[in-house]
Amino acid sequence: MALTIFDLDNTLLDGDSDYLWGGFLARQGIVDGADYDRENERFYREYQDGTLDIQAFLRFSLRPLREQPRQRLEALREQFMEELIVPIMLNKAWQLIATHRAAGDTLLIITATNAFVTAPIAARFGIPHLIATEPEIINGQYTGEVAGIPAFREGKVIRLEQWLGEHQQTLADSTFYSDSHNDLPLLERVERPVAVDPDPQLDVIATARGWTRLSLRR
């Protein structure tokens, strides 16, 4: 059975769920608006530039999970899904997923964005498997720390290899769809790397290497 892997932000979504979640929290008064927005924007630019310190970003992005009751967070997440995520779930992404599902492929999303934000998105797309950065939970409460290896850059490869072992899968006949040069380590590991509406850095690499390029926006 073929394995089809999707990046999430700016691939299946017309936007970045992590960035949008931060802005949503600021508008809801959960975090300090001006300061949080400024830091959120800075980290997002560093991600695009390929200079992101993932541990620094995760300390920033996971802090609200530690500071708010889980029931409140889950209510906010439902509102966030309906107001900001559902509208950016790309129509062509739904079609692409449906094509691979009809072919009998195993479907997996792999994303650096934390699982609190992304698990409902994967569920809404009907994709049963998710590898995401895992927020640490102790005694039922988020600690603001990361559990295990963040699913970012080479971490995506490590986390995927763990998943493959657990699910008796291999990368034979595998496809990975991504927009980002940050995903180059995993794009180089699969049989069919696909650059989806690629960022400028990935666009150059995909063109030079003859990789498939695809737009879900046009």
Residue ranges per structural domain of the chain? 3-14+89-214, 17-86
Q: Which of 9, 16, 179, 183 is catalytic?
A: 9
- Is 173 a known active-site residue? no
pLDDT for the residue 34: 80
Give the rounded distance of the alpha carbon of 51 from its chain centre: 17
The structure's pTM equals: 0.95
Per residue in 70-85, pLDDT tens?
Answer: 999 999 999 999 999 9
Whole-angstrom Cα Rg for the chain = 17
The number of C-alpha atoms within 13 Å of 144 and in the hemisphere containing its C-beta is 9
Q: What percent of the chain has pLDDT over 70?
A: 100
What is the architecture of the domain spanning 3-14+89-214?
3-Layer(aba) Sandwich (3.40)
Q: Which of 7, 105, 179, 197 is catalytic?
A: 7
What is the C-alpha to C-alpha distance for residues 14 and 85, in angstroms, rounded to an integer?
9
Find out if CATH 2.60.130.10 is the number for domain 17-86: no
Q: Is the pLDDT of residue 36 over 90?
A: no
- Is 9 a known active-site residue? yes
